[in-house]
Structure 1
């Protein structure tokens, strides 16, 4: 019997999941697997956890929901924990699988792990096949090769919009054939080396992990409230759950795909009309694509102090006292403090807040930007390797900003975006 493994990573969904669809079409039975990679729960060289408790809690909920959705189709989710290059081959041997289907990675560490697994599977005469499932535009459909992708977003966007098409999303499978899958057995936060973080009651939104919640959020933001029609005007808001879509959290773990969202935007436009706001959400999805493709192009460079600029000597060190003040909302700026407290106590921060606290970190505190990026990696529920490190490099002047350096006037930003002090009053009381 042809048995295949579907190794889930940051694609925790059954709708529009090419990896799952291709595995089903090429196999007689499949085993869906998720591996808790030990390295994801270690402390990084910057002194922060790679994955903090807010994101881990969201991940556990997402896996529970994935298992539930798989069981409705006749399958379930096998959980393993350790090093993927050890654990995935073990499962391959146990189920006598001949192929592993998995989403394709772009960032350095993830690709390294993928290669280690591939080498171990080769010895077991087991093939690995990867699929690109994280972007709106497929890499093969871009009007340029990866090495020739423009480094300036506007050039990338215009040419891509003009010359590339967005593929249709894959429908979810009607049935999955699997052997009997044991009851879901998730590790606890304590087993993962973390403590439970209670969500602050002032949180803009209570994120719950999983594809079911992602689709529920989309329906709320699009069809129930029609907030999509005013997205461009409200997206720089800072208080409440509906000033922006908040999709980034579910996108980061692949509980929903960009193509699925795009398809729903098109349905919405047919029903309620297209405008600048409905386009603007697509525009933001293209930004997300851009950073992912930049990582394919530059690989490890986004983790260097010099970023994708070749010769920038690291002139900035770390000041523990200033770092502590920034993290704990004790800086000289009340606007920065309010944003940093929101991040610390909820795992979320608005897009406007992120740009300001990053600019403050790089320009006012004058510290090595990578420590800021590493703290975000630990803290953000919606952490996505390409978007996080790509955006930080951009603001530090070593990424894709054509102007070379972006400096925010924090006081002006505060009066523009928190005119009535509603946001600061909420978090600083």
Structure 2
């Protein structure tokens, strides 16, 4: 039976294609209000804002693109400022809506939002949709998820588990409740403010081809595969400079402008034409890592957010002054400082440099890994709660594979990945703006 009125609450799924939760809402509601809630400014326990300027600007472009797509289908995206647990109950009452539809996010902060809505007698209809693989298709229940990624990958591949095909883009949306017309959306670009433009960026999101949103995301996916870069990805993925050393899918994946299933579908089509190799396989391999961190959250939940992660409780070492210098790129270690300055200037950092600077903070500066994770959340345009938490736990040795040897040798890393000091010159030179 169809519901007369409902709300679709966009979260980290800012797309119309391959969005099962939105398709469910469209099938079950006669009138549908499409809503996004801009989070209020919040500060971490470490004293800095949770959502930095680069992330806000990329999000603003993403929402602008989504808004235009909704308008082309005769719908309206209502963008409101405030916490969802405060906005949505009031909106539901004003519209006479019966249900809020949304994607499932199994991280503590996001889970608490849905719990708070239900506590106010809001019916919340959630759909899991952010992983490449369907949890129900795995060769084991998530309660028995292997505790080492390699075992997870091997079991998945041995069982021949493959992703479902992505859903096509929605071609029609239910009408919106007329009361929406009296409500004014937030000007997202005014909300985001200006972010500095740095020509050195490895992800120049100020340029049209790199902007947030589903439109740019799918064009980039097609352009990347057509360029042949995927066929040498494994050899270039540890690069530090430029736009071409890695896939650069992550900012669009994190906002949900692009789904992992869409990437997989296009990747397999590419392999069918030019052939598969170690590099195209490695893109699948990275998408499996992304899934693994998601499934870890299903199995362990809030345990991943304890001070010592899966090792339990305790008080990690922390040096506030050294942490502040790390954030500013003023540690006195040139390679680390170059990485941290790139992050602050652009909101982006290569995967290799993320591991290097994180290892340095944890193992050399003896600082709390949670502070580093929070700084990445604040700064990164591609912040993903699952991957961010999973990677920091992994490097700190508090995750499912707590080996003690994840302390990177800084001299070796610099020699291997910046042998000619081009990266140092790019980010430490005073005239390299």
Smaller-chain TM-score bracket: over 0.9
Hey, what's the Cα distance between the residues in 2 that align with 1:344 and 1:200?
A: 10
Q: Are residues 1:174 and 2:171 paired?
A: yes
Q: Are residues 1:133 and 2:124 paired?
A: no
Hey, what's the Cα distance between the residues in 2 that align with 1:405 and 1:302?
A: 20
- Contact 2:104–2:127, Cα closer than 8 Å, also in 1: yes
CA offset digits 1:174-233 (Å, max 9, x no partner): 111213554973345775xx763212221112121111111111112111x121111111
Give the match for residue 204 of structure 1.
202
Give the match for residue 426 of structure 1.
426
Give the match for residue 161 of structure 1.
157
TM-score, structure 1 as length reference: 0.93
- Contact 2:5–2:95, Cα closer than 8 Å, also in 1: yes
- Contact 1:121–1:128, Cα closer than 8 Å, also in 2: no
Match of 1:296 among 286, 293, 298: 298
Hey, what's the Cα distance between the residues in 2 that align with 1:171 and 1:371?
A: 40
Hey, what's the Cα distance between the residues in 2 that align with 1:188 and 1:15?
A: 22
- Contact 2:37–2:81, Cα closer than 8 Å, also in 1: yes
Q: Are residues 1:75 and 2:75 paired?
A: yes
- Contact 1:152–1:402, Cα closer than 8 Å, also in 2: no
- Contact 1:343–1:380, Cα closer than 8 Å, also in 2: yes
Q: Are residues 1:146 and 2:142 paired?
A: yes
- Contact 2:29–2:174, Cα closer than 8 Å, also in 1: no
Structure 1 spans left out of the alignment, 5+ residues: none
Cα offset, 1:95, TM superposition: 2.2
Give the match for residue 221 of structure 1.
224
CA offset digits 1:145-176 (Å, max 9, x no partner): 22211111111111122333311111111111
Q: Residues 11-30 of structure 1: matches in 2 within 5 Å?
A: 11-30=13-32
Cα offset, 1:99, TM superposition: 2.1
Cα offset, 1:133, TM superposition: 1.1
Cα offset, 1:401, TM superposition: 3.1
Give the match for residue 317 of structure 1.
318
Hey, what's the Cα distance between the residues in 1 that align with 2:378 and 2:203?
A: 19
Q: Residues 249-328 of structure 1: matches in 2 within 5 Å?
A: 249-310=251-312, 313-320=314-321, 322-328=322-328
Hey, what's the Cα distance between the residues in 2 that align with 1:374 and 1:190?
A: 25
Cα offset, 1:368, TM superposition: 1.2
CA offset digits 1:77-110 (Å, max 9, x no partner): 0112222122112222222222221000110111
- Contact 1:64–1:184, Cα closer than 8 Å, also in 2: no
Hey, what's the Cα distance between the residues in 1 that align with 2:421 and 2:293?
A: 33
Match of 2:8 among 6, 9, 19: 6
**Helix, strand or coil at the partner of 1:246:** coil
Cα offset, 1:303, TM superposition: 2.0
Specify whether residues 241 and 396 from structure 1 end up closer, same or farther in structure 2 by C-alpha distance, changes over 3 A only.
Answer: same
**Helix, strand or coil at the partner of 1:100:** strand
CA RMSD of aligned residues (A): 1.8
Hey, what's the Cα distance between the residues in 2 that align with 1:210 and 1:184?
A: 22
Number of residue pairs aligned between Structure 1 and Structure 2 = 418
Hey, what's the Cα distance between the residues in 1 that align with 2:414 and 2:88?
A: 49
- Contact 1:60–1:186, Cα closer than 8 Å, also in 2: no
Hey, what's the Cα distance between the residues in 1 that align with 2:86 and 2:335?
A: 47
**Helix, strand or coil at the partner of 2:81:** strand
- Contact 2:319–2:365, Cα closer than 8 Å, also in 1: no
Give the match for residue 354 of structure 1.
354
Hey, what's the Cα distance between the residues in 2 that align with 1:245 and 1:64?
A: 24
Q: Are residues 1:48 and 2:48 paired?
A: yes
Q: Residues 91-102 of structure 1: matches in 2 within 5 Å?
A: 91-102=91-102
Hey, what's the Cα distance between the residues in 1 that align with 2:400 and 2:406?
A: 11
Cα offset, 1:294, TM superposition: 0.9
Hey, what's the Cα distance between the residues in 1 that align with 2:48 and 2:324?
A: 12
TM-score, structure 2 as length reference: 0.92
Range 167-176 or range 233-242, more displaced: 167-176
- Contact 1:203–1:342, Cα closer than 8 Å, also in 2: yes
